[in-house]
Chain A
């Protein structure tokens, strides 16, 4: 498969370019739409070049928000989403790395059942337990709060499992060497396991940040105050105006705004992540 034939080169590039176009074109169209006036997209001919309403649309959306549609300023919602996504990502990583550490390095009664219980929850999507969870959160008075947004989704079987698998690949002698070197369990965790898990943490952070950012159903259920709306909900609010008078240019601007942070996270974290992958050697 390392042949260098002009025709094959052409073909592979053609396929790749087509693929990229298919993915990118809708995003491009959304961006174009967000720079035009509200009626330009209803006129039959879809413009393919940016319009002149870029700063007007984005400024309006970020600063004031579309109050008729019940959407608060996007800046607030972006901040809410950011807080929620970061808290979810950091919380998930912190909790799962500690539970994986416990499961792998400590011998306690019911260790294996505990692991399997965690593992089994992998198979349950949030939606399955959403009503009981809502009840619990409501009874605890956590509706309309960051803790209500974050805590119910903060445990992660996937991440626990990944960290467990990683810890199992760390040679046991490493732990024994640390013990002989006078490092207790917590010191071993902090000085050796954490630095070694750097790449896994970066990868999981990307995945979990996007997971948190894209939360839709759960924030919808538990937030009724606009003050706690997240950006993904905001788009939905913009798009479902009652009398069908959709401001598509604003909706598209919202979509672009909501899509930007995960892209940035990937771009910046990926470097760390790839660098770590290349450097890791046990």
Chain B
């Protein structure tokens, strides 16, 4: 068990390509951190630098209080779960789990005990004598997890461990990873490009873009108060609507329409306005609203997504399936549900932060 401190870390590959820039991240003992971002954002590189599989070009990584920049991966007291599991195909499940312990000279009895314990935890006891090829994808995933667990490391590092599984299995494994991590209390860093996975697993999310941190925060904080248009469009499904608007005093002009802001305007002039699909609703007749031209709908069962335009800008709203649709509608939003971003930098403009963003996550009883 240990905290992990990433201090001003950067990575420049030998060809001069910069992958990661000036990352500062302090991970508390036992915390579950998810690094999320699109392909090529540097999230895997960052994880691999913590693991010791990539050299650290700039800055320091500390595990516990020890600087590990020049420590071999095996001596960093970490365990890693790989995307393609990287099980040793010629070894039985037992040997796959035991290999790391054997290399450390752990006594045989202790290896047996630890493997048995991990296998019981992951419900793979009956497969211990099988080879990986005789296992299904989900079982292989469990073995890969088991290989990490038996080591009792200071930190788990997960590199997109669920992306090779089918959707249903992914959801159940996701729950299982969360449960295991809570139970073992091991500091974890988890890399994924799937924002849903990130939201559901993380104690804190780290959203990366272009090798830099866009935002660090609890999932709801990131969801309800995204720090930039990038985060706003990346976290949440459907993505937050981002439209060009103009602030005139306490009024916001979006295309042809003008709506009042009840004092929530952070600045004036041109801004990028963000609004979640579920915060949009069909307007009552007597309120200020945006004229919405319906283009197509997507049925999600509990919700219906309606895609269309306001003026010449794309908008998606999530409405109840019972509401009758017509080609021309009026949609409204509460002013406090609007997010304002600088049109130049894409950064969130200071101002109102929705109350939901400040809620502490409910700690489950274990």
A-side residues, CB < 8 A to B, are 171, 173-174, 176-183, 187, 191-192, 195-196, 198, 280-282
* Known pairs A173-B83, A177-B80; A182 contacts B89 (CB<8 A): no
Chain A residues with CB below 8 A from B104, complex form: 182
- Please report the C-alpha to C-alpha distance between residue A228 and residue B164 in the assembled complex, in whole angstroms: 59
Q: Tell me if B82 counts as interface (CB < 8 A to partner A).
A: yes
Complex interface: stretch among B70-78, B213-221, B325-333:
B70-78
- Please report the C-alpha to C-alpha distance between residue A198 and residue B87 in the assembled complex, in whole angstroms: 17
* Known pairs A173-B82, A187-B103; A180 contacts B89 (CB<8 A): no
Please give me the residue from chain A that is nearest to B98 by CB atom.
A181
How far in angstroms is the closest Cβ of chain A from B193?
Answer: 17
Docked-complex contact B80 and A180, CB < 8 angstroms: yes
Contact pick for A176, options B86, B103, B133, CB 8 Å: B86
**CB under 8 Å from chain A, chain B span 96-112:** 99-100, 103-104
How far in angstroms is the closest Cβ of chain B from A190?
Answer: 12
Please give me the residue from chain A that is nearest to B85 by CB atom.
A173
Docked-complex contact B89 and A179, CB < 8 angstroms: no
**CB under 8 Å from chain A, chain B span 317-365:** none
Docked-complex contact B79 and A180, CB < 8 angstroms: yes
Docked-complex contact A182 and B100, CB < 8 angstroms: yes
- Please report the C-alpha to C-alpha distance between residue A181 and residue B102 in the assembled complex, in whole angstroms: 9
- Please report the C-alpha to C-alpha distance between residue A183 and residue B73 in the assembled complex, in whole angstroms: 10
Docked-complex contact A174 and B86, CB < 8 angstroms: yes
Chain A residues with CB below 8 A from B79, complex form: 180
Docked-complex contact A174 and B53, CB < 8 angstroms: no
Docked-complex contact B103 and A180, CB < 8 angstroms: no
> How many of chain B's residues touch chain A, expressed as a range?
20 to 34
* Known pairs A179-B72, A180-B51, A181-B103; A171 contacts B86 (CB<8 A): yes
Docked-complex contact B99 and A191, CB < 8 angstroms: yes
For B81-93 the 0/1 string (1 means CB < 8 A from A) is 0111011111000
- Please report the C-alpha to C-alpha distance between residue A280 and residue B88 in the assembled complex, in whole angstroms: 12
* Known pairs A182-B74, A281-B133; A177 contacts B103 (CB<8 A): no
Docked-complex contact B88 and A192, CB < 8 angstroms: yes
Chain B residues with CB below 8 A from A187, complex form: 103
Chain B residues with CB below 8 A from A174, complex form: 86, 88
Please give me the residue from chain B that is nearest to A198 by CB atom.
B90
- Please report the C-alpha to C-alpha distance between residue A108 and residue B84 in the assembled complex, in whole angstroms: 28
Chain A residues with CB below 8 A from B88, complex form: 174, 177-178, 191-192
A178-B88, A180-B74, A191-B88 are known; give 19 further A-B pairs, CB within 8 A.
Answer: A171-B86, A173-B84, A173-B86, A176-B51, A176-B82, A177-B82, A177-B88, A177-B147, A178-B99, A179-B53, A179-B73, A180-B53, A181-B74, A182-B74, A182-B100, A182-B104, A192-B90, A196-B90, A281-B89
Chain A residues with CB below 8 A from B90, complex form: 192, 195-196, 198
- Please report the C-alpha to C-alpha distance between residue A192 and residue B86 in the assembled complex, in whole angstroms: 11
Docked-complex contact A180 and B100, CB < 8 angstroms: yes
Can you list 24 contacts pairing A with B, beta carbon distance less than 8 Å? A171-B84, A171-B86, A173-B84, A176-B51, A177-B82, A177-B86, A177-B147, A179-B53, A179-B72, A179-B73, A180-B73, A180-B74, A180-B78, A180-B100, A181-B74, A181-B100, A182-B74, A182-B103, A187-B103, A191-B99, A192-B88, A192-B90, A195-B90, A198-B90
How far in angstroms is the closest Cβ of chain A from B231?
Answer: 30
Chain B residues with CB below 8 A from A280, complex form: 89
- Please report the C-alpha to C-alpha distance between residue A182 and residue B147 in the assembled complex, in whole angstroms: 12
**CB under 8 Å from chain A, chain B span 17-60:** 51-53
- Please report the C-alpha to C-alpha distance between residue A208 and residue B147 in the assembled complex, in whole angstroms: 39
Docked-complex contact B89 and A282, CB < 8 angstroms: yes
Please give me the residue from chain A that is nearest to B134 by CB atom.
A281
- Please report the C-alpha to C-alpha distance between residue A71 and residue B180 in the assembled complex, in whole angstroms: 75
Chain A residues with CB below 8 A from B75, complex form: 182
Of the candidates A176, A178, A183, A196, the one having the most CB atoms from chain B within 10 angstroms of its own CB is A176
Chain B residues with CB below 8 A from A173, complex form: 82-84, 86
Chain B residues with CB below 8 A from A181, complex form: 74, 99-100, 103, 147
- Please report the C-alpha to C-alpha distance between residue A172 and residue B222 in the assembled complex, in whole angstroms: 34
- Please report the C-alpha to C-alpha distance between residue A198 and residue B91 in the assembled complex, in whole angstroms: 13
Contact pick for B103, options A183, A198, A281, A282, CB 8 Å: A183
How far in angstroms is the closest Cβ of chain B from A139?
Answer: 44
* Known pairs A176-B53, A191-B99; A196 contacts B89 (CB<8 A): yes
Of the candidates A180, A192, A196, the one having the most CB atoms from chain B within 10 angstroms of its own CB is A180
Please give me the residue from chain A that is nearest to B133 by CB atom.
A281
How far in angstroms is the closest Cβ of chain B from A256?
Answer: 40
- Please report the C-alpha to C-alpha distance between residue A195 and residue B99 in the assembled complex, in whole angstroms: 14
**CB under 8 Å from chain A, chain B span 166-208:** none
- Please report the C-alpha to C-alpha distance between residue A67 and residue B51 in the assembled complex, in whole angstroms: 71
- Please report the C-alpha to C-alpha distance between residue A187 and residue B105 in the assembled complex, in whole angstroms: 14
